[in-house]
Amino acid sequence: MKGERNAQVYQVGPYLFGTSSTIPHWKTEELIPSLKPFLLSLDTYKKKELKIAFSLAVQPESEIQEEDHAKYRSLVEFEWEGATCRISVIPDTDSYLITILAPNDPKEYTAYFFYGFTKGVLFLHETEADAFVLNNILMMIYAFNTACSDTVLMHASVIKKDGKGYLFQGKSGTGKSTHSGLWLKHIPGCELLNDDNPIVHFNRETGEATVYGSPWSGKTPCYKNDSVPVGAFVRLEQAPMNEIQRESPARAFASLLPSCSNLKEVRELNNGVIETVKYLAAHTPVYFLKCLPDREAAEICCNTIWKRTKVINV
């Protein structure tokens, strides 16, 4: 970050990233307030000589240099929250182009990334959609950049209880936030750590997984710079009854993988995510909970995890 204008450094999970801008008086956390708890002072960063995982320069659209997008080959296109994102690559290079068509903005946003997503530049339109685009670019690049470092960005809601983190997973609309809410209401000593996109890191030396809060928490404003060891993962499925069982390592892997952000089209990144999930499935408890949105579901889940009721192993 040396010599870059309006530079900020953030620590999210076990890794750091930096932003800078040519826009006068720019502060990324003012556009995205959820980043404030993760802001690291530049003095602390310099004293500790910490390494930046990736850096993003933010520039106004007026500074964009015209480039032939035809030389980029499309890797993947997907939609989320009403936006369309396309990721392309120059064949046989590590240079990527990301374009985003945001809601209520007729023009595409453009970002270029180099050196395996470690350095990039995003051009903003200076409109209301800027915050949405910047926030999602940072989340996306964080997931890509840490994929080969035993770290995954997971789609889950996380409850913190008695020094452990419990991650509730499932397809959109399954009721992850609802189940967390039941724990908060009916299980003493619970606290919400993150409600949508926590960071999970596996330490190969200790065999322990840690879950971190993040600046990305969906519709629930829960942006905590905190971490705890993972107590368990729980995959949820709506059902007419409450029933829980512990998963075998093979089924645990199949349960965890779909919840991880991943760029499958880049082999190295995909392999990194798969390797991390293998470790998580082998070293942490994973449960499958068929449930109703009621108090009993939370109590059965909590009691089973704490080994106060019979666990069915499959």
**Counting beta carbons within 10 angstroms of the beta carbon of residue 25, is it exposed (0 to 12), middle (13 to 18) or buried (19 or more)?**
exposed
Query: Checking DSSP bridges between strand 52-60 and strand 39-40, what pairing results, if any?
Result: unpaired
The tens-digit pLDDT sequence of the chain (314 residues) is 554 678 899 999 999 999 999 888 888 999 999 999 999 987 888 777 778 999 999 999 988 877 777 788 999 999 988 899 999 998 888 999 999 999 888 899 999 999 989 999 999 998 999 999 999 999 999 999 999 999 999 999 999 999 999 999 999 889 999 999 999 999 999 999 999 999 999 999 999 999 999 999 999 999 999 999 999 999 999 999 999 999 999 999 999 999 999 999 999 999 999 999 999 999 999 999 999 999 999 999 999 998 743 443 33
**Amino acid at position 177, single letter:** S
Rounded Cα–Cα distance for residues 167 and 256 (Å): 10
Domains and CATH numbers, the chain: 8-146 (no CATH), 152-305 (3.40.50)
Tokens 């390797």 belong to which residue? 275
Tokens 């930096």 belong to which residue? 18
Q: pLDDT tens, 161-201?
A: 999 999 999 998 899 999 999 999 999 999 999 999 999 99
DSSP designation for 217? -
Question: CA dist 147 to 17, 144, 276, 310, Å?
Answer: 14, 5, 8, 36
Buried b (16+ CB within 10 A) or exposed e, 32-70: bebbebbebeeeebeeeeeeebbbbbbbeeeeeeeeeee
CA nearest 215: which of 8, 1, 72, 5? 8
Rounded Cα–Cα distance for residues 305 and 311 (Å): 8
Tokens 């106004």 belong to which residue? 60
In 3-state terms, what secondary structure has residue 32? coil
